Amino acid sequence: MRLRRLQYKDKESWYDEAYAYEDEQGQVVLRYNLTWERTGTHFNDKFREQQTPLEEVETVILPSEALRWLPIETIPAEEIDTFLAHLNETCAIPQPGSVKQRQVA
């Protein structure tokens, strides 16, 4: 799996905020936390419409003083699940079933 991390800078240092990866068809998909809700959906649409390669994600989400893209990382197949679990936690990306719903009696 190939991916790139998008980092955010606060007053002190850089933090993993989101990431983009290539799915099985080579399409770039942005994974993001709830802060990016509408914006993340917009960027995923742009990646799909423009068929943006992973090497060019910074042409859609522009780097700035507070955002930067890291170089492409290649994750070995046997490490993907563990790597993504850690990265999803670091980026505060919600997982299926992570939101509890109140049951009505």
Do 70 and 9 contact (CB within 8 A), yes or no? no
Quick check: pTM over 0.85? Answer: yes
* pLDDT for 96: 74
38-89: per-residue pLDDT in tens? Answer: 999 999 999 999 999 999 999 999 999 999 999 999 999 999 999 999 999 9
